[in-house]
Structure 1
Amino acid sequence: MTSSPFTEVSELGAGRPVLVLHGGGGPFTTALLVQHLAESARVIAPTHPGFNGTARDPRITTVRDLADAYATYLIERDLRNVLVVGSSVGGWVATELALGSAADRISGIVPINAAGFEVESHPARDIRGMSPQELAQYSFHDPSKLRLPPPTPEGVAIAQGNAATLAALSVDSDPKLMKRVHAITIPTLVIWGESDRIVDLGYGRAFAAAIPGSEFVHIPDSGHLPYLENPTAVFAALAPFSPHTQELKSAQ
């Protein structure tokens, strides 16, 4: 891919670059994470093409294609010492980035309840066709605390567009990914909300175990988006990891 197709990119804060990659719900789902990280870093939070009403790029038909686009983005902007934090599908993209052409520009990855892998004893739940209410039941530790806003035509259109883009990316899983992650040499922190019923805790443990030297932190009282339900615990897990990866990169 010769040019990066990102038309919406939010940038906040100053310092070492942190690339935040959202999941299937769109960029608003990682807004709290972006705000927190921007207190001590330069946060770059693009919208994946085809999400949040943006145009889909015909060159991007798989998650691996999307990761290649992000690799090009890092190279074209000459970004180095980048910490990549990805939620759900964004965690899958972060993992692919650690295996791709821009891996030498990345000092650490943080997949959070990442999707995309195949763990035979812990299959991921098929969420295609679920309503927001159904999805919340499987995503949150305590769905009763979730207050969904009344649907609007614009919101429905965005949600449908996000779902269509997910379908176009063939985001069920990559059966070969678990066999490739052993090649990751970048420091990796895997964070997992322990009540996730889309990709459960056993799935997360298996993923982390496949990456040499990775750290695994499970977050209590939280589900698929643990930084929304238990931000204190997630931020506490991130706090020592971010400067540690920066120091490692500087020493090389």
Structure 2
Amino acid sequence: MNLRPHPGLDIPLVDTGAGDRTVLVLHGGAGPRGVEPIVEHFAPHARVLAPTHPGWAGTPRPDWFAGVDDLAVTYLDLLEDEEAHDVLVVASSFGGWVASEMAVRDRGARISRLVVLDGIGPDVEGHAISLPQPPPGAPGPDPADMAALRAYAGPRIADPKLLRRLARVRIPALLIWGEDDVVVPPEFGKAYAAAFADARFEVVAGAGHVPHVQAPAETFALIDEFTGRA
């Protein structure tokens, strides 16, 4: 299905599964395929909503829709329109930034728990974001997807105000990091987690920037324990 929150703005939305709880899944730079394991994990027992950010996977992005705040407000509106409460948000990489901005702005208290997987967003001193470059001849991220990421994220690919804002987020948060992440190392993740009022930080050995793909058993065990499904 497609959302149309504004004229000229269409957002593809996976709406699958069924259950008492709603899980919102937000993808990172790899696009919607990068979070398919998360959608598949939750769909048997929850309603899962997984939008494609405008600009990814060939979707149009209007020029005026150009900030992380645009995404955060749009997805909060989605939860309101769906009358969703007690929402678990699970977000990867760039999606973690969007999810964090949602939590900061969630005046309707629709989000109850937050899981961030190797998220970007805050400006952490000494840890500039380094988007990975594939080896010569190897497939890399879609250039159009990366252009969309930069349009939302800005030249620094970070928001220097975000860390201070996160102290206002009272919901429990779980931040999971791949031990070998070269985009945002675990030290970045520790600073990210420390900015929340109630956050737990976990490192997954043998994983990089997408632990739910590279070490799914360990990653989902942490998530299930955090959400009470262990």
TM-score by length of 2: 0.88
Residue 162 (1) aligns with residue 166 (2) = no
Alignment of 1:23-172 (within 5 A): 23-101=28-106, 104-127=109-132, 130=133, 132-133=134-135, 159-171=142-154, 172=157
Residue 234 (1) aligns with residue 190 (2) = no
Q: Secondary structure at the match of 2:11?
A: coil
What is the Cα deviation at residue 103 of structure 1?
5.1
Unaligned regions of 5+ residues in structure 2, if any?
none
The answer to whether the 8 Å contact 2:171/2:198 transfers is no
What is the Cα deviation at residue 21 of structure 1?
0.1
Residue 9 (1) aligns with residue 13 (2) = yes
**Counterparts of 1:102 and 1:68, CA distance in 2:** 11
Structure 1 vs Structure 2 CA RMSD: 2.1
**Counterparts of 1:106 and 1:228, CA distance in 2:** 25
- What letter matches 1:3 in structure 2? P
Q: Going by fraction, where is helix more abundant, 1 or 2?
A: 1
What is the Cα deviation at residue 243 of structure 1?
3.4
Distance verdict in 2 for CA 1:189–1:67, change over 3 Å: same
**Counterparts of 1:210 and 1:194, CA distance in 2:** 20
Q: Going by fraction, where is strand more abundant, 1 or 2?
A: 2
What is the Cα deviation at residue 191 of structure 1?
0.8
What is the Cα deviation at residue 235 of structure 1?
0.6
Q: Deviations over 1:8-31 (max 9, x none)?
A: 111221111100000011100111
- What letter matches 1:164 in structure 2? A
Q: Secondary structure at the match of 1:189?
A: strand
Aligned partner of 1:188 among 170, 173, 192: 173
- What letter matches 2:103 in structure 1? A
Distance verdict in 2 for CA 1:194–1:103, change over 3 Å: farther
Unaligned regions of 5+ residues in structure 1, if any?
135-147, 245-252
**Counterparts of 1:214 and 1:103, CA distance in 2:** 21
**Counterparts of 2:92 and 2:185, CA distance in 1:** 14
Q: Deviations over 1:102-134 (max 9, x none)?
A: 55011111111000111113332245xx3x447
Distance verdict in 2 for CA 1:174–1:204, change over 3 Å: same
Q: Secondary structure at the match of 2:218?
A: helix
**Counterparts of 1:178 and 1:7, CA distance in 2:** 28
- What letter matches 2:63 in structure 1? P
What is the Cα deviation at residue 101 of structure 1?
3.9
Q: Secondary structure at the match of 2:228?
A: helix
- What letter matches 1:242 in structure 2? T
Number of equivalences: 220
- What letter matches 1:79 in structure 2? A
Q: Secondary structure at the match of 2:201?
A: strand
**Larger relative contact order (Cα-Cα within 8 Å, sequence gap ≥ 6):** 1
Moved beyond 6 Å, runs of 4+: none
Distance verdict in 2 for CA 1:80–1:58, change over 3 Å: farther
